[in-house]
Amino acid sequence: MKTKIEQLNTVLSEADCLVDEAQLNNILDKMASNISEDLRDKLPLVVCVMNGALVPGSALLQRLRFPLEIDFIHATRYGMETQGDALKWLCYPQSELENREVLVIDDIFDQGHTLKSIIDWFKNHGAAKVYSATIINKLHDRKVEMRPDYVGIDVDDRFLFGYGMDYKGYFRNLPGIYAVKGS
């Protein structure tokens, strides 16, 4: 029987790399340009959704060359699982929200329940306008009635990991986006 590390290394070695590091850099540059065009004179609050937005959010924030504030939230539907139901808030933002322009960064727009709930929460807590950005938009027809304002790239409906997205809690740190073999 394989050890956990052997199992994880097998998943990685058999995975398909859908978006490599060079492609990610181009995607982030384009997203940053579009975000800058819209928000550079708004003094926005930029909020990363943990844990998924830790890696892509950091890379995107480094490309935004205008005054902004940074905060984070930790809200999840999945925890360490591959599916989830109700949104669970683990940490709320600490910044003032009243009449603020807010940009929420997350790793992936899958079905959209998590992101929509987060956006609604910010609106209900006084944000003047809430924008959203995700690196990945997963292509399928099971989405809520919204789309992020800024999307990096569309990918097929497969189980993804890397660049913020995890496989059973691992691989968020990878500098590419991978799909589990056979998914």
Structural domains of the chain sorted by starting position, each given as residue range(s) with its CATH number in brackets: 4-74+97-179 (3.40.50.2020)
Residues in the chain, pLDDT under 50: 80-82
**What is the per-residue pLDDT for 87?**
83
**What is the per-residue pLDDT for 85?**
63
**What is the per-residue pLDDT for 77?**
73
**What is the per-residue pLDDT for 17?**
98
Q: In sequence order, what E strands does the chain have?
A: 16-19, 45-50, 69-76, 88-91, 101-109, 129-138, 150-155, 160-161, 177-179
Whole-model pTM: value is: 0.93
**What is the per-residue pLDDT for 84?**
52
**What is the per-residue pLDDT for 80?**
47
CA atoms of 58 and 173, how far apart (whole Å): 12
